[in-house]
Structure 1
Amino acid sequence: MTAQPKLLIIDDDLSRRELIRAALSFLGRPFEFYGFVDWLQSDDQSLKGDKVSLVLLGQSELPISLEKLLRNLQQKTPDAAVVTLDEWSEVAELPDDLKSGVTGQLNVPFSYQELLDQLHKAQLYSRPSLGARDANNPSSELFSSLVGSSRSMRLVRQAMSQVTGRDVNVLITGESGTGKEVVARNLHDYSVRKNGPFVPINCGAIPADLLESELFGHERGAFTGAVSSRSGRFELAQGGTLFLDEVGDMPLSMQVKLLRVLQERKFERIGGTKTLEADIRVIAATHKNLEEMIEEGSFREDLYYRLNVFPIEMPPLRERTEDIPLLLDELLGRLKKQGFDSVRFQMSALESLKAHPWPGNVRELSNLAERLAILFPNGVVGVSELPARFQHVEEPDPARYANTEELLESSSVTGAIASATHLDHLPEEGLDLKAHLEAIERSLIEQSLAVHEGVVARAAELLKIRRTTLVEKMRKYGMQRK
């Protein structure tokens, strides 16, 4: 359980201590009293760092300035807000960095509501301080695989740190490719169930008639083809975490059965009579708007509230483009461990990537990093080396590519590759129409699969063709589902 930050009262006026003590005791908040001499001479480790959220600063009998007192507090309790007890005339003359930390004034005697209001101000003051400290330490051990120093990613890590010690259900929302499973694995790895299994299942990738068996298992002879008993994901996840990816794709009939398990923590295999305990934590994820689905009647409201005990929303990559250089370093580092060569990026190339809309989010960036590592091993990538759809800024030094372009124009291989991305008019020398159309088709199929994480059915919907047609085209081009 997370320890509550303490309140610190520094005051030489003993007559109002009982009033303050009674108010804070009623709130149930831990607190410490100090006289000014005792405080200035103290070195109490229990009050260091973020262990103090608010300092109530009374009047001092010492000939010491308010600025000196606040500098001392800033050193010992850097994230604590300060509220003065009665008026300190020196507040208006303080430097800006100290004045911002004085969030209010309490006139004694004060009401319960006035104290509550000051506690709320202190909470809001300390929140950005903690976020800034996390930004200065992006490679901290906690959630180190969640790369990014943007404000949105700091908020994600902050939310995760608040729920790691709680054995409650979590719902992770966000567009496809934003890293929802990475968050789920981190939540498991830092939870009380970290020594248990982490069992993922993609509810959208399994046919509806097979999903029940995948989740709950079945006994031999329960249905045609059940030649032996089989454990389901709930059994496999005992003592650990069950990750329900794309829970928004779960059919209504299965939603009812999942709700029963979450409520009663018990289930049976298909065709079985033995009741099994569900000692698991459920983390669900979806790219869909479940609240809209509830209004449409395609998702159960009671299941939504069972899953959404603690929500975490993953930001799309286009809203945190400042993280792209860090993400590329991480992705290329992983590729290097797999035997790929390293790649460096010109600043202009990074600026171009920051201007890309990233419909496939981090997964699209990962695919690009792998492609560039293959094309330019141990090389440097500028704007012109990026695939055409990632070129959003002008090449800053086109002269260096002049000779290269002449060579490419004379190459018989270039026609199909270049024309796959851009062709305003028919070249004078003509072109291989079949190769041109196939290159375009392959490129569009690759993009649609990247956007939908390799889910063929959704990629087919995006391309407005039948799933079987897309499967045939993928087989034709030797493309595999990832």
Structure 2
Amino acid sequence: MDMTDTPTDNAILNHLAVGVFTVDHAFRITSFNKKASEITGFGRHKALGRRCYEIFRADTCSGNCPLKRAMENNAEVIKQRVKIISQNNREVPVEVSTSVLRDRAGQVVGGVETLLDDSARTLLEKQIERSYTFEDILGRSKPILDLFEILPTMAASDVTVLVQGETGTGKGLIAHALHNTSPRREKPFVKVNCAALPQNLLESELFGYRQGAFTDARKDKPGLFEMAGAGTIFLDEVGDLPMAMQAKLLQVLEDRQYYALGAVHPSRMRARILASTNRDLEDMVAQGAFRGDLYYRLKVAVVEAPPLRNRQDDILLLAQHFLRQAAALEGKHLAGLAPDALQVLMEHAWPGNVRELKNVMDYAALVCDQGMVRREELPRYLLHPPNCCLEASLTPAEAEPPQRNQEQERLAATLNEHGWNRQAAANSLGVSRTTLWRLMRKHNLGCPRSTETLR
């Protein structure tokens, strides 16, 4: 099947209000419409024939690629939010949906992806985040009440704070609340996603560069530290920083100054540092994967974001809150949760924590037209959980060696399937990255050297 776009195809695609591109089985771009060019900054003729990851450079390209998942699983991926890097090296939030392309015999020969520029919604979310305070951290369970005891003191101080917790526990919300109730609240809050920025862009994004620092540096560009000014800089997922950047960050924390690329003189760092991680940094230090001196610089004050499974008393409160929000966005008036639906929520282990619960309520508000959300209007995976939970039933204290071998084989197979990308493997297994890391240590499963860049 000839997958190159015809003049007629191209004319049709160019009238669409969303970006559209297609790829062949090797992920080479075979069509690229006008809106895709506007979003990415790459012209159609420059994109055609290139592999899609060379054009988009998205945070999902090295793992959990929605287009790859659609083609491998022969299933659609709907409305996944990702961040791409445009031709002028700016981060652009987009919402993508993907599907497969088939020939006349029904064989998968490629894929198609639509892109919707998500910048407006992202800007609105940032405006909402600027108003977050401790009152937005919902809950009445003991772990949350304990948080309320310590956070105001930390907010009033200028000390570096490390927020630890599993994925989806609300570490970003805690960081925003610390800033918005601090003396720096009128100053900028700048978030750096250490896991999403490509390694070759990380230094220039953090520290900026001067004109002539490299071939394409035609004018000065301020880095995120400069943009933060005397506000707060939030290093999200700091455990994913490469070793070389760990050394540079340590120097910034020690000297309170940094060098932009190509600069002769240092710039003063005036911002307060907040950091978060879903990884066991202490264990990474022991393994030589994270600098001990940087770890102790970051953990002046530590906040533990509790997992949802330890907050049973908060599940109903949070579910009702998220359902009201989602229903309002859908223009619906829902009465709440039926008892059978609530029972499902209370029995679920919530490996994705509060974020997973929010996603479940978003889905329920979408499919429920009126009245109360019933059990059958919850996502199917909640109603038909796997026969075994990796952590709960494959790792009992009394487990026999055959069971341990079974767990090790399943773990290794899943890691291999996802190219040893830990986030993708954890998602597939339904556990957090912290749990996956712990299980890898238990079974002595190290990451192959050739795949270390995919971690």
Query: Cα distance, 1:380 vs. partner?
Result: 1.3
Residues 1:212 and 2:203 are matched in the alignment = yes
Find the residue that maps to 1:338 and give its secondary structure.
helix
2:344 aligned with 1:352:
yes
**Unaligned segments of structure 2, at least 5 residues:** 1-131, 388-413, 415-420, 430-455
- Aligned to 2:209, the other structure's residue is in SS state coil
Aligned to 2:424: 459
Decide which structure has greater strand share: 2
Go from structure 1 to structure 2 and tell me whether the alpha carbon gap of 1:461 and 1:348 turns closer, same or farther (over 3 Å shift).
closer
Say yes or no: does 1:287 pair with 2:252: no
1:232 aligned onto 2:232? no
Contact 2:204 2:223 in 1 (8 A): yes
How much does 1:365 deviate? 0.9
SS in 2 for 1:211: helix
1:388 maps onto 2:380 in alignment: yes
Once the two structures are superposed, the pairs formed by residues 402-417 of structure 1 within 5 Å of their partners are none
Shift of 1:299: 0.6
Which residue of structure 2 lines up, in the alignment, with residue 365 of structure 1?
357
For residues 342 and 458 of structure 1, the distance between their equivalents in structure 2, rounded to whole angstroms, comes to: 36
**How far off its partner does 1:367 sit?**
0.9
1:143 aligns with 134
Q: Which moved more, 1:333-342 or 1:205-214?
A: 333-342
Which of residues 182, 193, 198 is equivalent to 2:173? 182
Q: Distance in 2 between matches of 1:317 and 1:461?
A: 17
- Unaligned segments of structure 1, at least 5 residues: 1-140, 394-420, 423-447, 449-455, 465-482
Structure of greater Rg: 1
Query: Residue 288 of structure 2 corresponds to which residue in structure 1?
Result: 297
* Partner in structure 2 of residue 275 of structure 1: 266
Matched with 1:166 is 157
TM-score, length basis structure 1? 0.52
Alignment CA distance shift 1:381-1:461 (3 Å)? closer
Distance 1:462 1:339 in 2: 27
Q: For residue 329 of structure 1, what is the aligned residue in structure 2? A: 320
Tell me the secondary structure at the aligned position of residue 350 of structure 2. Answer: coil
Match of 1:338 among 329, 337, 340: 329
Alpha-carbon distance in structure 2 between the residues aligned to 1:276 and 1:377: 56
Alpha-carbon distance in structure 2 between the residues aligned to 1:235 and 1:332: 39
Q: Name the counterpart of 1:108.
A: none
CA contact (8 A) 2:133 2:180 kept: no
How many percent of aligned residue pairs carry the same amino acid?
A: 42
- 1:4-30 C-alpha deviation (Å, 9 max, x unpaired): xxxxxxxxxxxxxxxxxxxxxxxxxxx
Q: Distance in 1 between matches of 2:331 and 2:422?
A: 31
Residue 158 of structure 1 deviates from its aligned partner by 1.4
Deviation at residue 322 of structure 1 after TM alignment: 1.8
CA distance in 2, matches of 1:392, 1:353: 13
How do residues 4-403 of structure 1 correspond to structure 2 at under 5 angstroms? 143-343=134-334, 344-391=336-383
Which whole-Å CA distance do the structure 1 matches of 2:328 and 2:339 have between them?
A: 25
Offset from partner CA, 1:53-89 (integer Å, 9 cap, x none): xxxxxxxxxxxxxxxxxxxxxxxxxxxxxxxxxxxxx
Aligned residue in 1 for 2:71: none
Task: State the SS of the aligned residue for 1:311.
Answer: strand
**Residues 169 and 308 of structure 1 are in contact (CA less than 8 Å); yes or no, is this contact kept in structure 2?**
yes
The offset of 1:277, in angstroms, is 1.1
1:288-325 deviations in Å (ceiling 9; x for gaps): 00000001111111111111011000111111122111
CA contact (8 A) 1:216 1:232 kept: yes
Distance 1:294 1:199, change over 3 A: same
Moved over 3 A (4+): 336-340, 460-464
| Preserved CA contact (<8 Å) 1:215 1:233 | yes
- How many residue pairs match? The answer is 266
Contact in 2 for aligned 1:265/1:278 (Cα 8 Å): yes
Check the 8 A contact 2:209/2:261 in 1, yes or no. yes
- The 1:239/1:339 distance shift into structure 2, 3 A limit, reads farther
Quick check: 2:258–2:268 contact (8 Å CA) kept in 1?
A: yes
Residue identity opposite 1:228 in structure 2: K
Aligned-residue CA RMSD (Å): 2.5
How far apart, CA to CA, are the structure 2 residues paired with 1:321 and 1:213?
A: 43
CA distance in 1, matches of 2:426, 2:357: 23
Matched residue type, 1:327:
L
CA displacement, residues 375-411 of structure 1 (integer Å, 9 cap, x when unaligned): 0133312223322322389xxxxxxxxxxxxxxxxxx
In structure 2, what residue type is equivalent to 1:372? A
